[in-house]
Amino acid sequence: MAGFDTASTVQNQVPAAINYWGKPAFWVRYFSPCYYTALNSDPVTECTAVWNGNSSSPRLGVISAPTQSRLNGTSSEGHADAQTFISSLISTYTSVGPLQLPANGVLYCWLDQEASTSLSLSYWNGWAGYVNGYAYAGGHPFHAALYCNPYAAPPNCSVIDSSSAVHCYAVWSSEPLRCSNTLANPPAWAAESCSGVTTMLWQYWDEGICYSTSANVDLDVGRPNTSYGNYCFYLSSKP
C-alpha cells in the first residue's frame, strides 16, 4: 500500500496531490517539534483533509523533525524533544474526536534524521526512552522509529543497532529512489536497511529530486506482507 508524506499541510495538498497521483493509503505528517507547519497547529482541519483525501483509508502517520543539530546532542535534549512530540500527538488525539489509536496498539513515531545529520547514542536513548516508556490509554502505544538514509556516512544504523541503544521498532528508508514509479505502481521492494532493525516504510519518490509536480508530496510504500496503515492513527468518521 502506497501513500504520501508531505512537509506541506494536507489541506494544501487536497485536491492537488489527489488529482496528480490518486488517493493515498495513508498520509505522514509532521508534528512538533519540527521546522515545518506542524499538523498539531490545526488538527481538526488537517484531519478533515485526511478524510477528504481518501475516506476509505483515512490513515495518519506521525513524524517529528527537531532542529537537526540537536540530534547529535545530549540525552536531555532527546528527552525534551520527545516530550514535545508526545504532547503534540496527545493534543491532536484529544482534539479530534474520531481520531483513533492503532487497533494493534503500535503507533510508529518517526524521528527525522536527514542524510547529513549525525545521531548520537545519548540523544537517541533520551528520545526513544521517553517515547517507548510513555504510558497512555491503558498501554504504551508510542513506539520509537527512525527515518534515515541507512547508507549515509553520519551515524544512524550504528546507533540504533547498538546493544546500548533503546529499542528502535522500525526504519523508514529514504533510499534508493525509484523516480519512474507512481503511487498506483510502486516499485518492487528494494529499500535500504540497517542490520538490526527492520525497514517498514520506504520513501521511493521524492518531490523536487525526482522531478517537480503540481503536488508537494513524496511517495512511500510499506514493507511487503505488512500494512503500514496499521501503525498509524486512523479516523473512524469525518471530524
* pLDDT per residue as tens digits for the range 33-87: 999 999 999 999 999 999 999 999 999 999 999 999 999 999 999 999 999 999 9
* Total domains, the chain: 1
What is the residue-wise DSSP string for 80-102?
HHHHHHHHHHHHHHHHSTTEE--
* pLDDT per residue as tens digits for the range 147-205: 999 999 999 999 999 999 999 999 999 999 999 999 999 999 999 999 999 999 999 99
What's residue 108's pLDDT? 99
Query: Which CATH number is 202's domain given?
Result: 3.20.20.80
* pLDDT per residue as tens digits for the range 225-236: 999 999 999 999
Task: Identify the helix (H) or strand (E) that includes residue 79.
Answer: helix 75-95
The candidate with the shortest Cα–Cα distance to 160, out of 144, 137, 173, is: 144
Full domain range(s) for residue 183: 2-235
Question: What value does the mean pLDDT take over residues 136-141?
Answer: 98
Confidence of residue 1 (pLDDT cuts 50, 70, 90): confident
Q: What is the pTM of this model?
A: 0.98
What's residue 53's pLDDT? 94
CA distance 195 to 184: 30
* pLDDT per residue as tens digits for the range 198-224: 999 999 999 999 999 999 999 999 999
Per-residue CA distances from 84 to 91, 105, 165, 185 (Å): 10, 21, 21, 37
Q: Is 161 helix (H, G, I), strand (E, B) or coil?
A: coil
